[in-house]
Structure 1
Amino acid sequence: MFREAGRVFFDFRWITAIRQECVLSSARLREKTNLKGNDLIDIIVSLRKDKELCKEIQFENYRVVAQAFTFFVAGFETTSFTMAFTLYELCINPDIQTRLRVEITKSIRENK
């Protein structure tokens, strides 16, 4: 809508370029050095090395980067939502908050 009006409020291309460079440079480094991180980048590298699979599926860089970003955001949002919900519940339930504090304190003392 705003683009049609001739105004662009924020240009996301530079963010896309940084995101792409991070994912692809990590993949290139892992391909060259055979480092293992046991993460999504390792899966991308191993899939790109599979010649038969590459005949069936095209691994365009923009798709690989988009999937990596999707996994990152999905994991981040899930974690932040869970933490926010947990803290909210602790705030409205002071009895549970007290029990949790006692349990954490006890656990810390036992595991020193």
Structure 2
Amino acid sequence: EVVADVVPPTSTPPSPPSPVIPSSPPYQPPCPPHPQDAEGSSLLFQHVLDTCFALTRRVEGLEHDKATQQLEIVQLKARVKKLEKINKVTSSKLRRLKKVRTSQRVESSDDMENVFNQGRIIAGC
């Protein structure tokens, strides 16, 4: 018989991972600025300032335009309200006038009928 030597597994807790400390790059002293770098930085800085100034002026212009447009909107709304009020009064006057004209037509047609009927009466005598 072949008997295999079986070694029972032992449970060992896993060991915590060892902390990995990132290595920092070696210290480098700041380089003295080269004259070309200083000139390039100065030009870049001036370009940034010019852009900032231009954007600031654009924002101010847009704010002014917005205020102007808001004022115009308020004025137009007031004008619309006034015109709607006038239109309402005018339309009510027109309705009243139409009623008067209609009633006059009714009276006129009654008169015409009366005249026509009276003509028959006179002719029939």
Do they superpose with TM above 0.5? Answer: no
The structure with the greater share of residues assigned to helix is 1
After TM superposition, the score normalised by the length of structure 1 is: 0.32
After TM superposition, the score normalised by the length of structure 2 is: 0.29
Q: Indicate the structure whose relative CO is greater, using CA pairs within 8 Å and at least 6 residues apart.
A: 1
